[in-house]
Structure 1
Amino acid sequence: MTYNLQPLLRSACELYPSSIGNGIARSWSEDPNESRLSFSDWTFLESPEDQWAAATFSSGSRFSTTQTVHCNVVEGHLLVNRHSRGKLPLEIRQDPAIRELFGDHHLLAYPSHYPGMTHRLEACWYNQEIHFGVRQGQVIVRTISRNGLLEFIPKHIFSNSESFDLPAELMDNCVHWLNLDTKCIEVRRRPSIWVKRPRDWQITLQPRIAYRGNVRLVNPQSSIFSEIAGIFRYFVQPEWLTVFQPNSEASRLTVEIRQMDLSFYVNGRGILQCRQLGAEIDTNQDAGTWYGLRSKIVLKDIPVFSRSIIVPLAQTKHRRLGIHVDVRMEETGEYGRYRINSILGRLSCAPEPRLLYTLAHCHALTSFCLPDRLTSRTGSEEALAILRSGASKPWTRLGAGALGILIQLQTLTPQREYYPAKNKRLQRVNWDKNLTASIQHDSYDSLVCSIIAESQRLAKFSHESLDVVGSAEPSHLRFRGERQREIYERPTIDYGHKTRLPAVYASRDRKVTFQGENVYSVSQMLLQGYSSFPKISPLLSYLESYRVIGGFRNDGGSVTNARPLISQIEEPIAERWGELVNFCRLEKNDTAVLFCLALLAFHPKPSMDVVRSLAAFHYIDYLKDLEVPDFPSFVNLSSSQVPPLPDLERFLESAYRSFQPTYVCGNGKLRKRSQTDAAKHQELCEEEAHEFAACIQKQWPIAADDLLAEGLEFICIDMAAAIEAIKPGSAEGQT
């Protein structure tokens, strides 16, 4: 259809030649009104290429050159300098600068009309023409907009391994553009890297001044910056410091640390004062403790003049300096503040686990053989006191930061192992060469393990997932090392509140055994009477666990008569249960009962609750008066067992009413009829017995006299005799 419209399309283009250029300009620009492309007159090529219209165009910039464009009015193809739209070369697409600016966007480009540029993005990007090129092996990106001609500057231009030209605030998450028209570097912060904003930093090349509004940046290579960086040395990296000077006379030099949300300014006394903490940097950096910790800054509050310390909350690095240790903390963007309490002689902080463990860790790493002036204790003594305090005990599961500090504390213990490992005759101790012996203390291991174990226990009540940290129990060598160290150092545990009770000498002939304790327990219970009986588990649960239980037909006289002691100890109680119960009930001599039960308790694996139950049969009157069943034994006793129907029906046979014939037996026919009626009577008795037995099962367990037989009418069964038949004492119930 489009091919048939070719004459009409050509005549329309010849009649309105500017329409082709306007369409191309609209497709290449986000805002058609801002397009600066100017096209020459369009001419159609000769046959057979008469579908193509050609023209030249220019962007109107002083840097641009004229390019030729071909447009196929029938198929819609577009060629620039006889090249179609395509992907950027691989070396340009994979360059870090392209990924930093465009991310993973799919970029299509035409040949560029700017000198030194090879490709141009097919459409405008934020109302800017984007051109790409390669210069001395480096990818070049330039933009053309109403702000001028800008060239992208990679970050590595501003720093190397030894120095830097811009602070981290002007580097991190920022993009730098060189305006070739104004000779000024524009620092644009993400996400607005394509749009210039009034609050963006700008750096003029001649003279070299960085400014933002009415604020001028202090050159990181200047002596003023070096002096300020020396104050914050080891607390933060110099790159993190942004030092600037407002142009107004009333404003003062300001130092910002954006990573820590801290800002300092020079106060009237010429000292740096923090706006957030309301304190100034003390000219006296001696805190009376933490000697050797380089990463601390001592502050003095305004106006009360109390002192405090701020340190980064991060991993520590340490190295040996003779008899001292140089300790530094890595910069992570977080810090902790500790108040210097000269009255109590200690450092205090908020009761937060990470702060407390960092406090203990710093004390431990800066420990020396002489006590600190502030605490009057060594760093190890102070660290151990903090770890033993109630504030250090976790009340919920510890986070990853607090656990990391505890693990660092745990590494301050010397590594001890047996040598040889199997024989356990000697020990090998490995000391950290970068730490002094006064720093490495064995007590850290046990304290850290107890804190981590408590945290793992509290983890059951937490919904957050966190990797489980193993905390092995300290070894015997560890405890022995702690006790050995206490000989030469001041004790770190306060034993004053513990009262030492007189120790009782345990002679070798009175060695307490498990069997002896059981015998002593039963003897004390029998001698002291019923009031000393402990709580006993239900006896039924034990009896149901026995397969065979001895009956009560024996009066118990043979329990202790002429039987070997080993038999009285080791024979199962279940098989002798009936005679043991009768013996305890009927025996009047307490000594005989005590001797019998003591032998039962001397069994290697006695059932003490059963033995105590037998003692109860000897002391409790209502147990003595119980009527025991007269059976030789019991098998598979179960309190919830229901008697089967056949057994109940068999018990009820004695309650059948006898058949009374109503015919004279002289006649043969009448005799035969009488026999038939007797058989029917027997069947009816069995049916009624089955019905009565089912009624008993439904109400089981129940006493025979409490049976309910409402709605049941029996003709062939005597109800009174039936109830007597199923009672335990009846002859039928005993079979």
Structure 2
Amino acid sequence: MPLGCLQLDQSASKKLSGLDDEEERRDFYLIISQMALICIASFDVDEKHLRIVLTDTTQMRMMIHSSVIIQNLSHSVGACTEPFYINLALQKQRVLYNSYGFILTETLEKICQGPNLAVKSALPFYNEGGVWKLLSDIEYHWLEKKTVPRNGKVSLPIQINILTGELLVNGLPPSRLPTLYEEHPVFRELFGRELIEVMPSDIPGTIFSSMKSYHGYNFAFGMDDSEPPQLVIVASANDEILDLIPRRILNNNLPASFIDDYVHWYNRQSGMVEFRPAKSAWCSSDSNWPLRDTGSAWVLKRPGQTLICPTSSTIKRICQNPRSLEEETYIHIIRDNTTFALNISLPRLRLDFSLEQGSSGIHRRQFRGMYVDKVQQIGTLVSYVDLRPRVGDVHRVVVKVNLDGNPLSGGLAGG
């Protein structure tokens, strides 16, 4: 019975992220709290049988974790006056009072696995190193231990009240992120209206850590002192730690769409920055663009392709004609690592050009056999491109480009 209730509770918790209405949220919190109370009510047996049940660390974990859930939701649920809820709450107090006496008469080494499993259920990234001890002779219903620092994290004290289920991390109860964080544009882009339950962070440079994983990661949040304040996000999964790179750092160094259409994660282990499409910010893929430090420069390269810096003098000369059609920051120059051809793309105009290795002529892919004429006599203030055949024909084709990238008209002009 307790295990089934707890699994249902965890399933219901996931639904909360899709609820924006505060009244709906409160109703859901009430349901979760009631299920946790029912879990504890299943331990309401005589003292002899209760001792036998609690010798099973899994059962002890269920009871303590359920009490933690109820305590954490007490503020959100508020003062519920339903008789059924009140009776369950009174039953919970009786069970916890009868249980804590047994727990504390046993040696802490013997019962430590129960609190460990309960805290692990509430804080999935909690490590079980260290030993539980009584907080003091007076506060004998409080157990305390410190987390083991790993991967550059700091040690944090954790306290749990066996009588009430109150769980404290670094002296503070778990809560939700402040409004300043939840309303930040970066948070909205990545998490939408998702409710992130947090506690004090053990990662330097951040203030809050998520209590459980979201999208496969545990998160730490902070806010820097820039103007406007920039949200700091650190994502971790297993031994991988990722830092979110603010887009402003990449401004003027890359084409605009490589900045605006991607989320940029710096991997502390590999030392590279992975460009993930904004719509799949949590998915690492071989098709994503990794930015690597080669020692002399940072290179954006994925299998088969390398992004070429558009600001070099050589590239500026090569792309002089495409630059008459589009702002430099919206031109993509990508080298094919097999053929060494340069592919020049103007995404906003939906135009594509290419320059083959050993060739001096740029041709537009939409017009086979036609190359961009070096003599652009019409001028650069209107969206026209002069095209000519590679050899033989002295006639030229003048293509007017619409804002959506489609040719509006074309005509032959004498050589």
Q: Does TM, scored on the shorter chain, surpass 0.5? A: yes
Contact 1:285-1:297 within 8 A present in 2 as well:
yes
State which structure, 1 or 2, has the greater radius of gyration over its C-alpha atoms: 1
Paired position in structure 1 for 2:62: none
Tell me what 2:113 maps to.
18
Instruction: Tell me whether 1:69 sits opposite 2:163 in the alignment.
Output: no
Q: Which position in structure 1 is the counterpart of 2:258?
A: 170
- Shift, 1:48, TM fit: 5.5
Q: In structure 2, do the counterparts of structure 1 residues 40 and 302 end up closer, same or farther at CA, with 3 Å as the change threshold?
A: same
CA distances 1:40-69 after superposition (whole Å, capped 9, x unpaired): 1222344663332211113521x1111111
Q: 2:279 aligns with which of 191, 201, 216?
A: 191
* Contact kept? 1:310, 1:335, Cα under 8 Å: no
Residues 323-344 of structure 1: CA deviation (Å, up to 9, x unaligned): xxxxxxxxxx4332422145xx
- Could you say which residue in structure 2 is the equivalent of 1:478? none
Alpha-carbon separation, structure 2, partners of 1:277 and 1:26: 62
What are the residue-to-residue correspondences of 1:226-245 with 2, within 5 Å? 226-245=316-335
- How far apart, CA to CA, are the structure 2 residues paired with 1:175 and 1:228? 30
The correspondence for 1:282, drawn from 369, 373, 384, is 373
Offset, 1:120: 0.9
Per-residue deviation, residues 421-479 of structure 1 (Å, max 9, x unmatched): xxxxxxxxxxxxxxxxxxxxxxxxxxxxxxxxxxxxxxxxxxxxxxxxxxxxxxxxxxx
Kept in 1, the 8 Å contact 2:373–2:387? The answer is yes
Alignment of 1:319-334 (within 5 A): 333-334=404-405
Query: 1:252 — aligned with what?
Result: 341
- CA distance in 2 between counterparts of 1:303 and 1:6 reads 92
Check the 8 A contact 2:206/2:222 in 1, yes or no. Answer: yes
1:111 is displaced (CA, Å) by 0.6
Alpha-carbon separation, structure 1, partners of 2:147 and 2:262:
35
Give the distance between the partners of 2:327 and 2:127, measured in 1 at CA.
50
In structure 1, C-alpha distance between the alignment counterparts of 2:332 and 2:239, rounded to whole Å: 28
Aligned 8 A contact 2:153 2:203 in 1? yes
Query: Can you give the 5+ residue segments of structure 2 that lack an aligned partner in the other structure?
Result: 1-90
Preserved contact between residue 181 and residue 187 of structure 2 (Cα < 8 Å): yes
Match of 1:40 in 2: 130
Using the size of structure 1 for normalisation, the TM-score is 0.39
SS at match of 2:317: helix
Counterpart residue type for residue 321 of structure 2: I
1:157 aligns with 2:256: no
Change (3 A) 1:123 1:112: same
| Distance (whole Å) between structure 2 residues aligned to residue 98 and residue 13 of structure 1 | 45
Q: Does the 8 Å CA contact 1:272/1:280 hold for their aligned counterparts?
A: yes
Question: 1:591-648: per-residue Cα shift (whole Å, max 9, x none)?
Answer: xxxxxxxxxxxxxxxxxxxxxxxxxxxxxxxxxxxxxxxxxxxxxxxxxxxxxxxxxx
Q: Structure 2: how far apart are the matches of 1:68 and 1:102?
A: 29
Taking the aligned partners of 2:301 and 2:365, their CA distance within structure 1 comes to 23
TM-score (norm 2): 0.66
Preserved CA contact (<8 Å) 1:308 1:338: no
Shift of 1:229: 4.2
| Corresponding residue number in structure 2 for 1:390 | none
For residues 8 and 225 of structure 1, do their structure 2 counterparts lie closer, same or farther at Cα, with a shift above 3 Å needed?
farther
* Number of the residue aligned with 1:272: 362
Q: Which has the higher contact order (CA 8 A, sep 6+)?
A: 2
2:150 match: 60
Runs of 5+ in structure 1 lacking a partner? 30-34, 315-332, 343-372, 375-735
Deviation at 1:12, TM superposition (A): 7.8
1:92 has 2:163 as partner: no
Does 2:95 correspond to 1:4?
no
1:120 is aligned to 209
Q: Retained in 2: the 8 A contact 1:203–1:210? A: yes
Corresponding letter in the other structure for 1:124:
S
How far apart in 2 are the matches of 1:337 and 1:147? 54
Any idea what SS the aligned residue of 1:171 has? helix
SS at match of 1:58: coil
Give the secondary-structure state (helix, strand or coil) at the position aligned to 1:99. Answer: helix
Distance 1:208 1:147 in 2: 25
Q: Which residue of 1 aligns with 2:170?
A: 81
Instruction: Write 1 or 2 for the structure with the bigger share of strand.
Output: 2
User: Residue deviations 1:125-179, cap 9 Å, x none?
Assistant: 23322112233344322122346332211212222xxxx1111331232111222
Aligned to 1:530: none
